[in-house]
Amino acid sequence: MSTGRRAADTAYEAVRRMILSGEAAPGTRLGEAELAETLGLSRTPVREAIQRLGADGLVEVLPHRGARVVLWSARDLEEIFELRTLLEPYAVARAARIGLEEPVLAELRDLCSAMEGAAVEGEVALLARLNSHFHEALIDASGNSRLPGMLTSVMHAPLILGTFHRYDAETMARSMGHHRELVDAITARDPEWAASVMRSHLRAAAANLKEDQ
Amino acid sequence: MSTGRRAADTAYEAVRRMILSGEAAPGTRLGEAELAETLGLSRTPVREAIQRLGADGLVEVLPHRGARVVLWSARDLEEIFELRTLLEPYAVARAARIGLEEPVLAELRDLCSAMEGAAVEGEVALLARLNSHFHEALIDASGNSRLPGMLTSVMHAPLILGTFHRYDAETMARSMGHHRELVDAITARDPEWAASVMRSHLRAAAANLKEDQ
DNA sequence: ATCCACATTATTGTATGCAATGAAGGCGGG
DNA sequence: CCCGCCTTCATTGCATACAATAATGTGGAT
């Protein structure tokens, strides 16, 4: 990935990072002038960045009224997990059918190990990041070049972060187990197996989210 | 839908229309200054419009090198139809489960009639427009507010247009039949039926596309 | 005291000028 | 004659000034 040298890219990444890290909480107003000053840029690239984030579904832009970091309702989470339940099993089934190169499989296994480590240490933020990385890698491996773009709007880390925070030890272990099983299913080139595990993985996450909110 | 009074909206709709109507053919370069002059605006709102179209997947923007109307490869079509085959059956199943108000069903039936008329008259462009409208209505009826946005990038009329152009009389009649059956399945509140018909509808379209390219 | 109208103000939307980047063409060397 | 470098040019990217809009606060009337 090229470190975009355009100011608009800088702004995009900076604001995105603010949102994903939680520094800019949901509902926060994103004033163009304020951001521009903070980032040492003019309003033009900041404006472009905000629009892009709007297209990503991370901020809500109202004409003549500025932009705010989106607030997720219970219904939003429900919708998001339903769409993921539809698309991600498809992605891993495709990946399993195509078959992945050994280096890619190794990378996935490494991510599993790293996630297990983070889970044990209780480093939830790191875990959320690694988890996103893992899912993104699988989606990329599907061979459908449109899938990653389609899922960006429903794969935002704040959601996942919220998910992990609520996990007890058993649920966490189960989730980590799903990851391993997923890689094994793909390695075995069994699309049905892979898709089923992914469905379980996502429904388990959705159930956990539902139960306490 | 409000007729956006912002210049950026005007530009967005104008350029979008150029592309969807075929006035701006795939591969056409979209110069900011040129468009701005044509539309009687400055480059700023035109730029915003182009970015939005880029997010929609209608134009390809290369840093420092401008924007072009996207060119669809056979692989792109394959990917698109696979994703539609995943998402649209889900949408109609949901619609069937929820159940639609009679006025909505009536509107869908009217669309069927209008499409049948256009098909008989050979008005392919009109048919494509009505068809898009029909599918969009179904997607909106799914009750998942994220689905429409997700599908915009794969529901662009030029593709559909190309599809209808190749249809012979029998294939066309079958396609129109699918539409009617879809509405009936939803009216009967049978999710499985609705989803199956939609899958057939889309696979038939994909097969037709494949066969002659 | 409450409500409405109006002026004020903060912020977004648009235009324009300048800077920076990439492409094209010409010039010189091999 | 062909290849590579350098200059030139068109176009995008960015900054800033100005215009338009919506929110806010104030004053007066009921």
Q: What is the pLDDT of residues A102-157, one digit of tens each?
A: 999 999 999 999 999 999 998 988 998 899 999 999 999 999 999 999 998 888 76
Query: Which string of b and e fits B65-104 if b means at least 16 CB within 10 Å?
Result: eebbbbeeeeebbebbbbbbbbbbbbbbbbbbeeebeeeb
Nucleotides of D under 7 A from a protein CB: 11-17, 21-23
Please judge whether A79 and B146 are an interchain contact, meaning their C-beta atoms are less than 8 angstroms apart. Answer: yes
How far apart (Å, rounded) are the C-alpha atoms in residues B31 and B43?
10
Q: How wide is the angle at C-alpha B6 spanned by C-alphas B4 and B12, nearest 5°?
A: 75
Evaluate if residue A213 carries a pLDDT over 80.
no
Chain A nearest-CA residue for B152: A150
A3 pLDDT band, cuts 50/70/90, is low
Q: What integer pLDDT is reported at residue B43 of this predicted model? A: 98
- Ordered structural domains, chain A, with CATH: 3-69 (1.10.10.10), 74-210 (1.20.120.530)
A121-124 contacts at long range (C-beta below 8 A, 24 or more positions apart): A124/A161, A124/A164, A124/A165
B213 pLDDT band, cuts 50/70/90, is low
- Is the distance from CB of A20 to CB of A156 less than 8 angstroms? yes
Evaluate if residue B4 carries a pLDDT over 80.
no
Q: What is the pLDDT of residues A177-200, one digit of tens each?
A: 999 999 999 999 999 999 999 999
More confident position, A48 or A209: A48
B28-31 contacts at long range (C-beta below 8 A, 24 or more positions apart): B28/B68, B28/B69, B29/B66, B29/B67, B29/B68, B30/B59, B30/B66, B30/B67, B30/B68, B30/B69, B31/B66
How far apart (Å, rounded) are the C-alpha atoms in residues B45 and A109?
47
Residue with tokens 């187990």: A177
Q: What integer pLDDT is reported at residue B1 of this predicted model? A: 46
DSSP β-bridge partners for residue B61: B67
Q: What integer pLDDT is reported at residue B167 of this predicted model? A: 86
Q: Count Cβ–Cβ pairs < 8 Å, chain A vs chain B.
A: 53
How far apart (Å, rounded) are the C-alpha atoms in residues B47 and A41?
18
Q: What is the pLDDT of residues B122-137, one digit of tens each?
A: 998 899 889 999 999 9
Q: List the one residue out of A174, A191, A180 whose CA is nearest residue A109.
A: A180
Amino acid B7 CA to nucleotide D27 C1' distance, rounded Å? 37
Please judge whether B83 and A144 are an interchain contact, meaning their C-beta atoms are less than 8 angstroms apart. Answer: yes
B163 pLDDT band, cuts 50/70/90, is confident
B200 pLDDT band, cuts 50/70/90, is very high
Structure tokens given for A168 = 């007890």
Residue type, B110: D
Please judge whether A63 and B4 are an interchain contact, meaning their C-beta atoms are less than 8 angstroms apart. Answer: yes
Q: Is B59 helix (H, G, I), strand (E, B) or coil?
A: strand
Question: Could you write out the DSSP letters of every residue in chain A?
Answer: -----SHHHHHHHHHHHHHHHTSS-TT-EE-HHHHHHHHTS-HHHHHHHHHHHHHHTSEEEETTTEEEEPPPPHHHHHHHHHHHHHHHHHHHHHHHHH---HHHHHHHHHHHHHHHHHHHHT-HHHHHHHHHHHHHHHHHTTS-TTHHHHHHTT--HHHHHHHHHH--HHHHHHHHHHHHHHHHHHHTT-HHHHHHHHHHHHHHHHHHHHHH-
- Is the distance from CB of A183 to CB of A108 less than 8 angstroms? yes
Q: Name the burial class of residue A101, with classes exposed (0-12), middle (13-18) and buried (19+) by CB atoms within 10 angstroms of its CB.
A: exposed
Q: What is the pLDDT of residues B94-116, one digit of tens each?
A: 999 999 999 999 999 999 999 99
Q: Find the range with the poorest average confidence among A14-23, A29-38, A189-198.
A: A14-23
Structure tokens given for B133 = 């409208």
| Residues on chain B bordering chain A, Cβ-to-Cβ distance under 8 angstroms | 4, 6, 48, 51-52, 55, 57, 63, 76, 79-80, 82-83, 86-87, 90, 144-147, 149-150, 153-154
Amino acid A104 CA to nucleotide D19 C1' distance, rounded Å? 55
Q: What integer pLDDT is reported at residue A197 of this predicted model? A: 98
- Is the distance from CB of B174 to CB of B183 less than 8 angstroms? no
- Is the distance from CB of B213 to CB of B107 less than 8 angstroms? no
Please judge whether A90 and B86 are an interchain contact, meaning their C-beta atoms are less than 8 angstroms apart. Answer: yes
DSSP B143: S
Q: How wide is the angle at C-alpha B117 spanned by C-alphas B111 and B123, nearest 5°?
A: 105
Q: What integer pLDDT is reported at residue B2 of this predicted model? A: 44
Distances (CA, A) of B2 to B10, B33, B99: 12, 27, 28
The residue-averaged pLDDT of A71-89 equals: 93
Q: What integer pLDDT is reported at residue A187 of this predicted model? A: 98
Task: Please list, in sequence order, all residues whose beta carbon lies within 8 angstroms of the beta carbon of residue A150, skipping any fewer than 6 positions away.
Answer: A87, B83, B150, B153
Chain A nearest-CA residue for B53: A55
A47 pLDDT band, cuts 50/70/90, is very high
Selecting from A76, A86, A153 the residue whose C-beta is nearest the C-beta of B86 gives: A86
Residue nearest to nucleotide D21 (CA to C1'): A64
Beta strand pairing call for B66-69 and B29-30: antiparallel
H/E stretch holding B88 reads: helix B74-98
Q: What is the pLDDT of residues B165-193, one digit of tens each?
A: 888 899 999 999 999 999 999 999 999 99
* Residues touching nucleic chain C (CB < 7 Å): A 5, 29-33, 43-44, 47, 61, 63-67; B 6-8, 41-45, 48, 63-65
The residue-averaged pLDDT of B25-30 equals: 96
Q: List the one residue out of B192, B213, B129 whose CA is nearest residue B164.
A: B129
Structure tokens given for A17 = 């990072």
Evaluate if residue A1 carries a pLDDT over 50.
no
Chain A contacts of B145, Cβ < 8 Å? 79
Structure tokens given for A208 = 């956990």
Q: Tell me the pLDDT of chain A averaged across its residues.
A: 92
Q: Find the range with the poorest average confidence among A18-22, A107-111, B51-55, B207-211.
A: B207-211
Q: List the one residue out of A209, A184, A212 whose CA is nearest residue A198.
A: A184
